[in-house]
């Protein structure tokens, strides 16, 4: 069976966004999308290649950027499961989210101090920012089951991605206008100013979530009475590992997501610096990325609608097929218009594929352990996410060019798509509901 069971017809998007907790939850996507837009995808990669890595030979700046991304993801992969379990035990998802978001905001602001040749500093500050961004998302994603009912999550998750596109796109437009209208002597300053604006944007627009999204109810299990959060975190981590066979289809989905999302994120993180390496001018690169932000908005909603018509998994298969064609097309890219065409294709599937993956996962986990399980979700995304940029960097280093690096990403979409065919999501949801009922009986607080 490909379609998810619907308890009732989901509410309209407008009626969902009129609920302040749903609106505030989606606004965090608006807030934190400034980081991947400015720091991962557009301005910082170009600045890293042309300024911070100006004295590096050949494609070395591209390779070092790939390795930097992998290191950041490794750190997040190692800490995500335990901090997710600690947040569930403490009843403090929002506090953990705010703390790691502030770390990301701090790392973003530090990048203002990166100048010509400072590629080491740029790598360190980006790692700090990326760890904060990715770790905060563990708790943000974990709040989804608490703001949306099961039959609302496809649409709410898609709405979050759409808000992210809009917010990230607006900030990119502002930063691009500042950089392009600056006199040549001030271009570097306004480029670095965009890093400060990213930090401010992220901080200001995360405030609605902190104010209006309620903290989920804390549940303490009988064997956790008297434990501190660290002890309980490790206890829950061991408990979850011991029960992993009970979540057979969830585990299969994680493996599939682990692989295909690595390919998606590698394209997101490496496209701009790859385009810079092969000689596409900065204005074309950033302009195409700005286009992606706004074209992605209707397509995010389209995929939320499409999932209701053909099933969530089939919609994801469609997106992975498009990504496969994008990777192959990237090998032949040589002109600016090529980048625009491939960028449009990315805009069609990027938000939808990730929103539906997040929604599908949320339906196969016990609601009261959402942060803990989204910690594992983060690991499956971040630990696996190490390998795409790492493969990109290794192929580029061996070949002396990144053309074969981009086409090598195809393997992630093919293997991940195949593993997704093995997932019975309806069985996964049934198991999650039964486990949630058992947890409710066992909880003492």
Mean pLDDT value across the chain: 84
> For residue 201, what is the domain's CATH number?
1.20.1250.20
What 8-state DSSP symbol labels residue 443? B
CA distance 81 to 237: 7
Query: What's the domain range around 390?
Result: 20-442
Higher pLDDT, 166 or 85: 166
Q: Is residue 382 part of a domain?
A: yes
In a domain, 7, yes or no: no
Classify residue 14: in a domain, yes or no.
no
Q: Residue 203 domain-assigned?
A: yes
Distance (Å, rounded) from C-alpha 426 to C-alpha 432?
10
Total domains in the fold of the chain: 1
| Long-range Cβ contacts of 179-185 (<8 Å, 24+ apart) | 179/43, 180/283
CA-nearest of 406, 410, 408 to 331 is 406
Q: How confident is the model at residue 129 (pLDDT cuts 50, 70, 90)?
A: very high
Residue-level pLDDT at 1 = 38
Per the domain annotation, does 336 fall within a domain?
Answer: yes
Question: To which residue do tokens 């905060």 refer?
Answer: 136
| 54 token code pair | 């100006």
- Quick check: is 5 in a domain? no
310-366 pLDDT, tens digit per residue, is 888 899 999 999 999 999 998 898 888 998 999 899 989 987 888 888 788 878 887
Confirm if 254 and 411 have CB atoms less than 8 A apart.
no
d(CA 191, CA 116): 12
Q: What confidence category does residue 230 fall into, taking pLDDT thresholds of 50, 70 and 90? A: low
Instruction: Please report whether residue 177 resides in a domain.
Output: yes
Q: CA dist 110 to 29, 33, 125, 128, 173, Å?
A: 22, 18, 6, 9, 22
Q: Residue 38 half-sphere exposure, CB side, CA atoms within 13 Å?
A: 39
Q: Is the pLDDT of residue 118 over 50?
A: yes
- Percent of the chain at pLDDT > 90 equals 33
Instruction: Round to whole Å and give the CA distance between 322 and 334.
Output: 20
Residue 197 in domain = yes
Integer Cα distance of 396 and 56 in angstroms: 15
């Amino acid at each position: 069976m490909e379609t998810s069971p619907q308890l009732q017809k989901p509410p309209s998007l407008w009626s969902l966004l009129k609920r302040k907790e749903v609106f505030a939850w989606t606004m965090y996507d608006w807030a934190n999308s400034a980081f991947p837009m400015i720091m991962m995808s557009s301005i910082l990669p170009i600045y890293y290649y042309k300024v911070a890595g100006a004295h590096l030979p050949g494609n070395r700046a591209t390779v070092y950027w790939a390795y930097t991304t992998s290191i950041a993801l490794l750190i997040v992969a190692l800490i995500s499961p335990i901090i997710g379990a600690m947040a569930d035990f403490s009843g403090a998802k929002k506090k953990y989210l705010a703390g790691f978001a502030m770390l990301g905001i701090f790392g973003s602001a530090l990048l203002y101090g990166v100048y010509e040749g400072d590629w080491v500093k740029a790598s360190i500050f980006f790692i700090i920012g990326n760890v904060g961004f990715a770790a905060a998302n563990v708790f943000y994603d974990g709040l989804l089951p608490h703001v949306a009912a099961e039959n609302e999550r496809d649409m709410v998750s898609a709405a979050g991605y759409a808000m992210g596109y809009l917010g990230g796109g607006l900030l990119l437009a502002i930063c691009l206008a500042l950089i392009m209208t600056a006199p040549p002597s001030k271009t570097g300053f306004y480029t670095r100013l965009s890093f400060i604006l990213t930090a401010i944007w992220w901080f200001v627009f995360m405030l609605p979530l902190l104010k209006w999204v309620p903290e989920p109810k804390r549940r303490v299990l009988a064997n956790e009475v008297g434990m501190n959060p660290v002890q309980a975190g490790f206890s829950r981590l061991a408990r979850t590992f011991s029960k992993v066979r009970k979540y057979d289809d969830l585990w299969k989905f994680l493996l599939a997501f682990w692989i295909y999302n690595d390919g998606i994120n590698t394209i997101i993180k490496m496209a701009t610096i790859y385009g810079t390496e092969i000689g596409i001018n900065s204005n074309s690169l950033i302009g195409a990325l700005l286009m992606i932000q706004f074209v992605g908005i209707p397509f995010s909603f389209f995929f939320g609608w499409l999932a209701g018509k053909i099933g969530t998994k089939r919609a994801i298969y469609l997106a992975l097929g498009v990504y496969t064609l994008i990777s192959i097309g990237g090998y032949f890219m040589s002109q600016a218009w090529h980048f625009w065409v491939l960028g449009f294709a990315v805009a069609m599937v990027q938000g939808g594929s990730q929103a539906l993956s997040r929604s599908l996962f949320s339906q196969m986990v016990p609601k009261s352990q959402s942060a803990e399980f989204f910690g594992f979700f983060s690991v499956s995304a971040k630990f696996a996410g190490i390998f795409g940029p790492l493969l990109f960097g290794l192929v580029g280093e061996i070949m002396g060019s990144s053309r074969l690096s981009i086409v090598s990403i195809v393997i992630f979409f093919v293997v991940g798509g195949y593993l997704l065919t093995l997932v019975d999501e309806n069985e996964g949801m049934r198991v999650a509901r039964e486990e949630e009922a058992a947890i409710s009986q066992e909880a003492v607080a």
